[in-house]
Each structure stands twice: as C-alpha cells, then as structure tokens.
C-alpha cells in the first residue's frame, strides 16, 4: 500500500463513534504505555498500517553469525477495539517518533484514520513534576476545540494552565484540526526522580482518565506490580539524594539552618549566591534530577518565592 493510497480503507459501519487513541513514545514511555495498557485490558485486532517510508530511515544494521543486514523500520499500525459503550477505539501504536517531518507524518496518520471513520482524536503526554513518587499523578488536558474543552471539564479533567507539548503527541492536535476532527491531549505528571525510566503509574492515570471519559472502567491490575517496583526505585533514588545533601551539610558546604520557603530573605543575594543559583538552574535544565538540589538552595537562601515561576518552568514541557 502506498503512503497516500487509502482506497482500501473502507469505513466499517459496525463501528460506533470511532475515536483514534494515539501514544507516540516520549518522556518515560508514558504515552505509548498508556495505549499498550488499553490494548492489554480490552484486546484489539490489527486492522491497518501505514508505510514508514519516506519519514523514517534505517538507523542501524543487524548482525547474525557475522552477516549483517538492514535493521527494521518502525511499525505504524492501527488496532481496533470494540468497547460496547457507544464509542469504539482505533489504537495507533508506533514504535518510535521520527527525527524530522513530524507534522507531515501526523497528517498521514490522520488521513488514514479519517478514511476509516474516526470522529475524535485523543493523544497522551507526560509532564515532569515535583510530585513525590508515592503521590497519585494529576491528569490535565489541552485541546484546540472549544466543544472538546467543555467535554473534558464536564468529565472533571482540568486544563493545563501553561507549558509546551513537544513531539508528535502535540502535533497530532494540529493535524486533526486541519481535518476538522475534534482532538485532545491528556497530560499527566511524572516525578522528576523517574524521568529516565518507565512510569506505569502515570500511564495508568492517563488510561483511567480516558476510561472515565468513555464511561468505562479499566482496572489494569497487570500494571500494579510494575508500579510498585518503579515507585520503590524512585524512593531509593530520593533517599540517596537526601543522603548526599546531608553529606554536604556535614561537610559545611551548605548551611544547616534552612528557612521556610515562604520566608524571603531580607538582604539581597551575594554575587557568589546568585552565580551558584544560575549554575544550578543550568544544571537542572539539562538534568531534571538536579532540580531537587536547586530547590534546596532556593529554600536555604529564602528566595524561592522570587524564583518560583522560573523553577516551575523547568517542568512545564511535556512529551
């Protein structure tokens, strides 16, 4: 099947109010994991696929017994779920995001889905946050369509106040808008302690929110052992970080008396303190795990209220 040929994609009249649910791999693999969780929970059947060419290129070679051959291109497949609640789902499960031509690929995906009768589009994304590993992540929405915005609010989902959705989970909304298809991105929090590892708790929160919107329940008990293991790992990482901070205190590299975050300091920052804060902001921008050290220093100096917006900006970009 060619990239632009959709003649074989006939609308199946047995589908009811078909929704496209997309999860491009991003931060923590959360978006893709949420779609995979729905597939695991409800079951789905392969119904179509689009060609990876020309967007993707072969990235590596595979070797067996000294013989090399081209590595595979990603699979870009559609799987159908008949929910029995009035809205059926078309799951789009890509292996990876492209490095370029992202919006063009989103348009190809949406044209294919539209030919199959899709009436609404849902994507997922993760937002790095300072929430504790034990906390239940909140889910927010963003959408270019006022009726979809109202629908999300009526289901108890709050809007994302500000930030950026990077990658194709955001660009899908633009492609859907071009075709006049209502669309929404559901965005959930992921702790900074775990941005380098999978986060099934956030994936479960996203899938559960979609279930609520559809009037369904997704128990997804198969995720619970993974959630417990990842949560324990993040708690250990947090404990190790706290221990390092205590080491700095013991070495006299940090002051022991840390004022409350709400207590601004009476005197201006010294040049050394200001330079240290700028250095910590730079480190936290490159590595979100350094944000906790930055927060400790802001609290120590009593200037967190003055820097709060800039600090939170570190976590307002999601994927």
Q: Which domain holds residue 51?
A: 19-223
State whether 87 and 206 are in the same domain: yes
State whether 184 and 67 are in the same domain: yes
State whether 286 and 191 are in the same domain: no
Is 65 part of a structural domain of the chain? yes
State whether 200 and 279 are in the same domain: no
Over residues 140-159, mean pLDDT: 97
State whether 194 and 272 are in the same domain: no
pLDDT at 267: 65
At 187, which CATH number? 3.40.50.10900
pLDDT at 303: 86
Residue with tokens 């779920």: 81
* Longest Cα separation, the chain: 72
Q: How confident is the model at residue 119 (pLDDT cuts 50, 70, 90)?
A: very high
Whether the per-residue pLDDT at 197 is higher than 60: the answer is yes
Q: Which has more pLDDT, 285 or 160? A: 160
Residue 214's alpha-carbon distances to 189, 201, 202, in angstroms, are: 21, 20, 19
Q: Which has more pLDDT, 10 or 190? A: 190
CA-closest candidate to residue 299, choices 246, 245, 263, 251: 263
Is 87 part of a structural domain of the chain? yes
Cα angle 316, 194, 262; round to 5: 55
State whether 185 and 264 are in the same domain: no
Over residues 169-190, mean pLDDT: 96
Over residues 20-37, mean pLDDT: 93
State whether 195 and 294 are in the same domain: no
State whether 219 and 271 are in the same domain: no
CA-closest candidate to residue 188, choices 73, 40, 27: 27
Is 8 part of a structural domain of the chain? no
Bond into 130 cis (ω within 30): no
Q: Which has more pLDDT, 119 or 284? A: 119
**Number of domains the chain is built from:** 2
């Amino acid at each position: 099947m060619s990239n632009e040929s959709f003649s074989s994609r006939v609308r199946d009249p047995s589908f009811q109010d078909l929704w496209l649910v997309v999860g491009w791999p991003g931060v923590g693999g959360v978006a893709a994991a949420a779609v995979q969780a729905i597939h695991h929970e409800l079951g789905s059947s392969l119904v179509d696929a689009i060609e990876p060419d020309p967007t993707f290129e072969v990235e590596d070679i595979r070797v067996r017994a000294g013989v090399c051959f081209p590595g595979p291109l990603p699979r870009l497949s559609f799987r159908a779920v008949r929910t029995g609640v009035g809205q059926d789902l078309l799951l789009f499960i890509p292996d990876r995001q492209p490095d370029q031509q992202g919006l063009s690929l989103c348009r190809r995906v949406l044209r294919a889905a539209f030919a199959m009768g899709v009436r609404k589009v849902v994507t997922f994304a993760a937002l790095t946050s300072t929430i504790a590993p034990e906390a239940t992540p909140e889910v927010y929405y963003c959408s270019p369509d006022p009726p979809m915005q109202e629908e999300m609010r009526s289901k108890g989902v709050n809007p994302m106040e500000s930030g950026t959705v990077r990658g194709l989970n955001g660009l899908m909304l633009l492609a859907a808008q071009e075709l006049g298809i209502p669309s929404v991105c559901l965005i959930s929090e992921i702790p900074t302690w775990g941005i380098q590892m999978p986060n099934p708790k956030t994936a479960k929160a996203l899938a559960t929110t979609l279930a609520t919107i559809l009037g369904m329940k997704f128990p997804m008990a198969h995720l619970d052992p993974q959630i417990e293991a990842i949560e324990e790992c993040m708690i250990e990482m947090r404990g190790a970080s706290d221990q390092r901070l205590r080491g700095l205190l013991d070495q006299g590299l940090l002051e022991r008396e840390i004022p409350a975050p709400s207590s601004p300091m009476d005197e201006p920052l010294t040049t050394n303190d200001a330079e240290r804060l700028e250095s910590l902001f730079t480190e936290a921008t490159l590595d979100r795990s350094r944000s906790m050290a930055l927060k400790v220093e802001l609290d120590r100096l009593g200037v967190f209220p003055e820097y709060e917006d800039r600090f939170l900006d570190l976590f307002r970009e999601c994927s």
